Amino acid sequence: MLNSIYGVQPEQLHNFLASDFPVYHSRQLLKWIYEKKVFDPYQITDLPANLQSYLEQAFDEKELDLDSRDENNAIGRLALHRL
């Protein structure tokens, strides 16, 4: 079991899912996480129900809470989230 999907590297996720699911599912999941910023498996509509349930059980997830936001950061917008 992995603790949090927020800290999982793509290779770790591929390896974690490889024994039970086709590799294309991990690519789908990564696309949702990194491109669409969706972390709830039940909102990832192109994953099968058994994988959504598997992810819910495998990861200890909770929504990120916005801790602070700095709109005038020199690098750009900065949002800090509390786990």
For the chain, give every domain's residue range: 5-82
Report d(CA 82, CA 63) in Å as an integer. Answer: 9
* Least reliable range by pLDDT among 22-31, 44-53, 73-82: 73-82
Choose among 27, 61, 63, 62: nearest CA to 47: 27
Note the pTM of the prediction, 2 decimals: 0.67
Just give the CATH number of 5-82: 1.10.150.530
Report d(CA 48, CA 50) in Å as an integer. Answer: 6
pLDDT in tens, 52-83: 999 988 886 654 444 445 455 545 554 444 54
